[in-house]
Amino acid sequence: MTDSNLFVALRAAFPADLDSLAIETDTGLNYSWRDLDHASAMVANLLQSLELPPASRIAAQVDKSVEALVLYLATLRAGHVYLPLNTAYQSAEMAYFVGNAEPAVVVCTPANFGWLSKIAFNAGTRNVFTLGDDRTGSLLERASHQSTEHTPVPRAADDLATIIYTSGTTGRSKGAMLSHGNLLSNALVLKSYWGWRSAQEGGDVLIHALPIFHVHGLFVAIHGALINGSRMVWLNKFDPQTVIRYLPKATVFMGVPTLYTRLLAEPGLNSGVCSHMRLFISGSAPLLLETFKDWQQRTGHTILERYGMSETVMLTSNPYAPDARYPDASGQPQAQRRGGTVGFPLPGVSLRVVDDRGTPMETGDIGGIQVKGPNVFKGYWHMPEKTAEEFTPDGWFKTGDVGKVDANGYVTIVGRSKDLIISGGYNVYPAEVEGFLNEMPGVAESAVVGVPHPDFGEVGVAVLIARPGSALEPEAVLSHLKATLANFKVPKRCYVVNELPRNAMGKVQKNLLRDQHKAIFMA
Ligand code: MCA
Ligand code: AMP
């Protein structure tokens, strides 16, 4: 078997000079490539010393740090499956993930050890370690006794590398299973499509300002830098002024649209600080045309927007360089980054737009987006029925996004068939929030809809009907939710009404609710 372990490919791209700088943090820490190699070997050796079955799940709910990245690399290296979890998740959410994924190891912050270790031990997890964002905790303490030498465990391309939980329109979150082959193929395609520069070509420097428990920060950004042997400026938390301070030293930046609007709000953002930059990339949520244009005007750079999903990693991208696959009317390869579009399907990705019956549509027609490619996931963890529902019999994955492809090949996302709110780049499924609301005393019924928001792009608003005789206080409802649910899922506003608008079938007409509330944050 050829070894398709993703770590092996990433490690092979480390520069020859292992003592050169790989990562610098805004807190003054420097990590060489050798540091990454040795630290990931030590943690991999620790994982192997636990004698876990192959492909055990290693769950991590930890604050962003370089050591958290090391844990990810070590998990790949040891042939296990990484399960990153948003630090905003609270106990009910964590109990579900741990119960569903049955991890052999849970790594949590020292502050959360009390409650999370109980959840983990109850679910049968034997090993719970802690990891702080200041290099504290039992994981590093135990790993410090291990060797800095480690031979990566061979993996086949179809072997699982990671499980990413993504919420569902109905029921609970589903664990999207991504293989070593899924991640490596996407990393290699992006390396060439985005023109990453090798060290000999001057090298790239990525400002890494995104969380590392989702696809954007963990895979698109980290794999992009590592598979190219490129340096990272590592910020544990996004702060626009810190990013601006580092722009003159960097060449690549990746962000969700909220990061771009927050940067635009800084007077210090101008073409001068961006003159060393090669590429600004946006994704995870729609980038407003206004942001695209403002950015061009202020910095002289054209943001490259791309589109992806947890289940598929990256699917489409605006071109970085002329793309010979998509010539214009005069036969010239197109190179324009068009605002409001997500560009072309990436090399190796097939994308089609279908009608309600699944029949492919004409160019320019709006319908459901379906995709195929080596990047498309292996299915949902322990949910074969859900997996089957999301694929057509001939193997196309139904994205749940609605869009069109124009005559030049550019893909535009015009909406979603899935009931999903994307808030500051995080996904919020109304059905999940409604489930929690409906369980609250005094709530007879609830509807959660997404409305435009100047900072987060979109946020949730809850509309409730009270049970007869109950007086519901909107603020109390929201505080109650905050104690139970990840903060970003909590609606930013709550209204108590006498009735919800319904169609003839009795179904709540969410489009009417959205219309009714669409201006509340945009005054
Ligand atoms: C924080 N809050 C939010 C969000 N973030 N509410 C809604 N949506 C959010 N995204 C809450 C906070 O808990 C707080 O609540 C209040 O809003 C204000 O928080 P603030 O201090 O402004 O937040 P922040 O800590 O500065 O975070 C904002 C952020 C962050 C930097 C934009 O949300 C972020 O890093 N987003 C990136 C998400 C991401 O990486 N997505 C990629 C997913 P309170 O006042 O009650 O305490 S991967 C993906 O989608 C695919 C595959 C792809 O294509 O990439
Ligand atoms: P996730 O479940 O976190 O993987 O989010 C995937 C979803 O994010 C996609 O199905 C899209 O709805 C959305 N998305 C990602 N990138 C973009 C983009 N550039 N424009 C519009 N929507 C996007």
Q: What would the pLDDT profile of 239-280 be if each residue is shown by its tens digit? A: 999 999 999 999 999 999 999 999 999 999 999 999 999 999
Closest C-alpha to ligand 1, atom 33 = 424
Nearest-CA residue for ligand 2 atom 22 is 285
CATH number of the domain that residue 460 is part of: 3.30.300.30
Residue 520, judged by CB atoms within 10 A of its CB (0-12, 13-18, 19+), counts as middle
In a domain, 469, yes or no: yes
The ligand whose atoms approach the alpha carbon of 427 most closely is 2
Q: Is the distance from the beta carbon of residue 387 to the nearest atom of ligand 2 less than 6 Å?
A: no
Mean pLDDT of the chain: 96
Helix (H, G, I), strand (E, B) or coil at 146: coil
Amino acid identity at 160: L
CA distance 178 to 160: 6
Grade residue 200 by pLDDT with cuts at 50, 70 and 90: confident
Does 99 fall in a domain?
yes
156, 185, 204: which is the final residue of a domain? Answer: 156
Select from 119, 134, 156 the last residue of a domain: 156
Q: Residue 180: its pLDDT value, please?
A: 98
Nearest-ligand number for the alpha carbon of 255:
1
Among all ligands shown, which has an atom nearest to the Cα of 221? 1
Q: Is the pLDDT of residue 169 over 60?
A: no
pTM value > 0.85: yes
CA–CA separation, 6 and 82 (whole Å): 12
In a domain, 75, yes or no: yes
**Would you say residue 332 lies in a domain?**
no
- The residue segments making up the domain with residue 458 are 420-517
Q: Are 454 and 479 in contact (CB under 8 A)?
A: no
Residue 416 has, within 13 A of its CA and on its CB side, a CA count of 14
Which pLDDT score, from 0 to 100, does residue 170 have?
Answer: 58
Q: Is residue 193 part of a domain?
A: no
Q: What is the pLDDT of residue 259?
A: 98
Candidates 439, 438, 454, 465; CA nearest to 492 is: 454
Neighbours of 197 (CB within 10 A): 17
Is residue 425 domain-resident?
yes
Give residue-wise pLDDT tens across range 208-249: 999 999 999 999 999 999 999 999 999 999 999 999 999 999
Q: What angle do CA 279, 280, 281 make, to 5 degrees?
A: 115
Looking at the chain, how many residues does it have? 523
Closest by Cα among 76, 66, 219, 78 to 140: 66
pLDDT at 1 over 60: no
Find out whether 423 and 167 touch, Cβ atoms under 8 Å: no
Of all helices (H) and strands (E), which one includes residue 433?
helix 430-438
**Segment 47-84, tens digit of pLDDT:** 999 999 999 999 999 999 999 999 999 999 999 999 99
Residue recorded with tokens 């535009």? 412
**Spatial separation of the C-alpha atoms in residues 336 and 352, rounded to whole Å:** 22
Please identify, by atom number, the ligand 1 atom nearest to the C-alpha of residue 215.
48
Confidence of residue 418 (pLDDT cuts 50, 70, 90): confident
Q: How far apart are CA 230 and CA 13, in angstroms?
A: 9
Does 427 contact ligand 2 (Cβ within 6 A)? Answer: yes
Question: Burial level of 380, CB count in 10 A (0-12/13-18/19+)?
Answer: buried
Q: Once rounded to an integer, what is the mean pLDDT over residues 7-22? A: 97
pLDDT for residue 523 = 76
Provide the number of structural domains found in the chain. 2
Tokens (6 digits) for 18: 């292992």
> Is 192 within a domain?
no
Q: What is the CATH number of the domain that holds 54?
A: 3.40.50.12780
Q: Whose CA is nearest to atom 44 of ligand 1?
A: 487
Q: Which of 98, 131, 156 is the last residue before a domain boundary?
A: 156
Residue 121 pLDDT grade (very low, low, confident, very high; cuts 50, 70, 90): very high
Taking the centre of ligand 2 as the mean of its atom positions, its distance from the CA of residue 440, in whole angstroms, is 30
Contact status, residue 402 vs residue 413, Cβ threshold 8 Å = yes
Q: Do the domain assignments include residue 398?
A: no
* Alpha carbons 101 and 123: distance in angstroms, whole number: 10
